[in-house]
Chains A and B, each alone.
Chain A
Amino acid sequence: MNNAIAEAPLFSRIAAAVRIVLVTMTFCSLLYPLLILGVGYLVTPHTAGGSLLRNEQGGIIGSAFLAQGFARPEYFRPRPSAVDYNGSAAGGSNLSPASPALRARAEEILARTAGGGKPLPADLVSASGSGLDPHITLQAASYQAPRVAAARGIEASEVMELLAKHAFRPGRVFTPEPLVNVLLLNLDLDRSGR
């Protein structure tokens, strides 16, 4: 089993290993990402670039895939975010579901949410893993609809109509709970001038 290579001095064995490094790096770190960049550039340039949304002046106002903070009463609010909707430092609360800190956060949200006696949908008191989950459940949106309608001085039924238009099931039959994208919904509210 002895052979020239295995018995070669360490230096020349390292040199041979470095050659393998360069070969694999050329394929895996250069050619492969270039090819995938090409696919994204040619076929799905919008999503590959981050699904950025722009206003009429061309300024970037966010990404359709990322939540952003909303506090004013005329807007629907997203799920709470452990990172305050920071698009460059995503993350969750990492709190244990039995943690007192989690309960304190829920109590604080409940205190500033006028509920009209109805229990609050759980997604409005649970932070997502990324802190950037763009969706809330249709239930959570319907819960907020009277407040949004009152703040905008319009009929609640108008808001509910818009909700129905935005609701979708991401996994069809496999995800029974309909969701809405908060940012797109709020943009639509503003654009429809209501």
Chain B
Amino acid sequence: MSIFFITLMLGGAALLSWPLGQAMTWAMSPPRQQEGFRFRIEKVLQRLGGKIIIAEQNWKQYVLALLLFNSVMFAVVFAVLALQPLLPLNPDARGAIEPSLIFHTVASFTANTNLQHYAGELTMSYFSQLFGLMWLQFVSAATGIAALTALARGLSGSSGLGNFYNDLLRATLLILLPLATTGAAILVLGGVVMTLDGAALATTIEGANQTIARGPVAAFVAIKQLGTNGGGFFGANSTHPFENPTFLTNVVECMFIMLVPMACVWMFGRLTGRLRHAAVIFLVMGALLAVKVGFANYLESAPSAAFTGLPVAAAANLEGKELRFGTAAGPTWGVLTTATSNGSVNCMHDSLNPLTGLIALTGMWFNVSFGGVGVGMINMFLYIIVGVFISGMMVGRTPEYLGRKVETREMKFALLAILVHPLLILGGTALFAATPWGAATVQDQGFHGFSEILYEFSSAAANNGSGFEGLGDNTAAWNVATAIVMLLGRFLPIILPLAIAGSLAAKKPAPATAGTLRTDTPLFGLVILGSVVFIGALLFLPVAVLGPIAEHLASGG
């Protein structure tokens, strides 16, 4: 029954991604004529944004504008969080935030990661949530969509990649805002909390005091899910009954995770004029996802190893899970959220069975089974370049992609962008596992503690944001180290692909011949699947054995 249900849910998201891909293409493309609805919208955007959104930019100018605006995003929200005690909308009187935590939080939300070393209901005022963090959830996701659009333009052979500010406004106001408004309305009707009132004080039936934290949750949760942000309004994220009150809201939030990353593939296909190519990519990503969902559900149906031999009725592992979502919900969400760089959770990943935790880690290591908004498809582009290059070498031809020759320069950039990921994860894990920075902060010593450190760095580098939350991660060392990893893991894999696009666009198109590797065939699907699995996963095999696999074997599983 649960397999049928999961198929229904993922199939539903895949079906919805098709029209959404069309709409996103419409929103991100300049109007075709100097009249009509789309043209009038463009005029409004120009009036709102000013002269800065008009000029065409080459790849360097586009990247510089992207970095400048993201720096301004960082500075603005740093100021919002630092000034929190002085700002309005603070009914529960949240005080000043520790500086290294501010630095970490702002880096995290700017990088579309939303790794949280704080609990929202204890640390943030409503103003900080809405005007700081939620605003970044919109514009960081829009940055990803803009970057993918620019990449697609470059691959279509245009030396101008468009205008970053124009793309950012289009993505924010024409795509994310309407989606989030619809999504938040559905959630608030489904029972999610949405109020500006402060915490309610209750006296329970047995006479204890219970402080009930509240807030403008529904608006926050909608964009958190749709923009692959993942940062919860509350520390407990989507396990919290106020963020995710019912079976139905769980289904809706689960579909929101997949929607935009899936649609980004179709948008890429439309912008480059290669829909069949996009369909092959979509199927490869979908196949990876389906395999992971299947394994995770199977592995998580095993009971907690800790209860072996105790008089406890046999059941799936329920630690860290909410009953109202059903038993398949935790592992399914766990896979989707790590495969897309979302990072929200509806069960505690630290309490997943060790091998289910490994599936979540694998999702962050690949980071392409749809991946983050915009950037997932960009990551896949890097694997495509590598796959195309290797195939070209095997048959002794200069490799080509979308009609342009892939040569040393492109290959260097692609490999550099891909290798940043394992370097940050393995280097960071090694450093923190060997020093008190990490070793003194784990909840359990041994294999599981190692997994906690490994998960934290994987999540930071993949811009995911989920965590093995048993880790005591609000220390200056963790805050600074993961902030740096998140920023490098965010911006290098955006800058380098745009450099490749700029370099490809400058080349003369090579006419397709009988010897050209076609990009719209099942064979090509196997090529990119191979390059993802062999390059993306093999490097991580040793740490997988040291952490989750060792824990599984040691617990007699």
Contacts and interface: CB of A to CB of B under 8 A. Distances in A.
Interface of A: 1, 3-6, 13-14, 16-21, 23-25, 27-29, 32-33, 35-37, 39-40, 43-44, 47-52, 59-63, 65-66, 68-72, 75, 79, 85-103, 106-107, 110, 115, 119-123, 125-137, 139, 170-171, 173-177, 179, 183, 186-187, 190
Contacts of A127: 319-320
A185 B552 CA distance: 39
A61 B207 CA distance: 9
A179 B325 CA distance: 11
B165 A20 contact: yes
A129 B193 contact: no
Nearest to A90: B236
25 contacts: A5-B54, A28-B134, A28-B172, A49-B214, A61-B202, A63-B212, A69-B208, A89-B122, A89-B213, A90-B119, A97-B352, A98-B304, A98-B305, A98-B354, A99-B306, A102-B319, A115-B311, A119-B313, A120-B313, A121-B315, A122-B303, A126-B319, A129-B321, A174-B247, A177-B323
Contact of B320 (A88, A92, A171): A92
B522 to A, nearest CB: 33
Contact of A48 (B61, B180, B193): B193
Given A49-B195, A50-B195, A94-B468, A44 B211 contact: no
Contact of B205 (A20, A75, A174): A75
Interface stretch (B10-18, B65-73, B373-381, B457-465): B65-73
Interface of B: 1-2, 5, 48-58, 61, 64-65, 68-69, 72-73, 76, 119, 121-122, 130-131, 134-135, 138-139, 142, 159-160, 165, 168-169, 172-173, 177, 180-181, 184-185, 188-189, 191-197, 199-206, 208, 210-214, 216, 218-219, 222-223, 234-236, 239-242, 245-247, 303-307, 310-315, 317-327, 345-348, 350-354, 443-444, 448, 468-470, 551, 554-555, 557
Contacts of B172: 24, 27-28
Most buried by A among B72, B142, B199, B242: B242
Top-4 shortest CB links A-B: A129-B239, A98-B555, A94-B470, A122-B315
Given A29-B134, A96-B444, A98-B554, A65 B245 contact: yes
Contacts of A173: 1
B311 A120 contact: yes
Given A61-B203, A98-B306, A68 B312 contact: no
Given A1-B160, A6-B57, A14-B68, A62 B351 contact: no
B177 A137 contact: no
A25 B57 CA distance: 25
Contacts of A52: 200, 202, 212
A96 B448 contact: yes
A62 B210 contact: yes
Nearest to A51: B191
A123 B56 contact: no
B448 A99 contact: yes
Contacts of A187: 205
B320 A72 contact: no
Contact of B138 (A28, A102, A120, A136): A28
A128 B323 contact: yes
A170 B1 CA distance: 15
B319 A17 contact: no
A170 B319 CA distance: 19
A122 B134 CA distance: 38
Contacts of A119: 311-313
A184 B202 CA distance: 15
Most buried by B among A25, A70, A75: A25
A106 to B, nearest CB: 6
Contact of B448 (A33, A44, A49, A98): A98
Contacts of A88: 121-122, 199, 211-213
B354 A70 contact: no
Contact of B246 (A4, A21, A59, A170): A170
Contact of B444 (A13, A99, A133): A99
Contact of A21 (B55, B73, B311): B73
Given A24-B139, A176-B1, A40 B121 contact: no
B218 A36 contact: yes
B68 A66 contact: no
A128 B321 contact: yes
B434 to A, nearest CB: 22
Given A29-B130, A63-B202, A103 B191 contact: no
Contacts of B191: 44, 47, 51, 65
Contacts of A75: 205-206
Contacts of B346: 129
Contacts of A98: 304-306, 354, 448, 551, 554-555, 557
Contacts of B197: 49
A28 B137 CA distance: 10
Contact of B135 (A29, A35, A43, A106): A29
B55 A87 contact: no
Most buried by A among B169, B173, B212: B212
B349 to A, nearest CB: 9
A123 B240 contact: no
B150 to A, nearest CB: 14
A135 B134 CA distance: 30
Contact of A35 (B181, B325, B468, B470): B181
Contacts of B240: 90, 130, 132
A177 B391 CA distance: 51
Contact of B177 (A27, A91, A131, A179): A27
B306 A89 contact: no
A17 B52 contact: yes
Nearest to A179: B323
B390 to A, nearest CB: 34
Contact of B247 (A47, A107, A131, A171): A171
B1 to A, nearest CB: 6
Contacts of B320: 92-94, 126-129
Given A35-B181, A48-B195, A51-B191, A137 B323 contact: yes
B312 A130 contact: no
B212 A1 contact: no
Given A28-B172, A110-B312, A136-B323, 8 more contacts: A47-B193, A60-B203, A96-B448, A126-B321, A128-B323, A129-B236, A130-B236, A177-B327
Contact of A1 (B56, B130, B169): B56
A123 B318 contact: yes
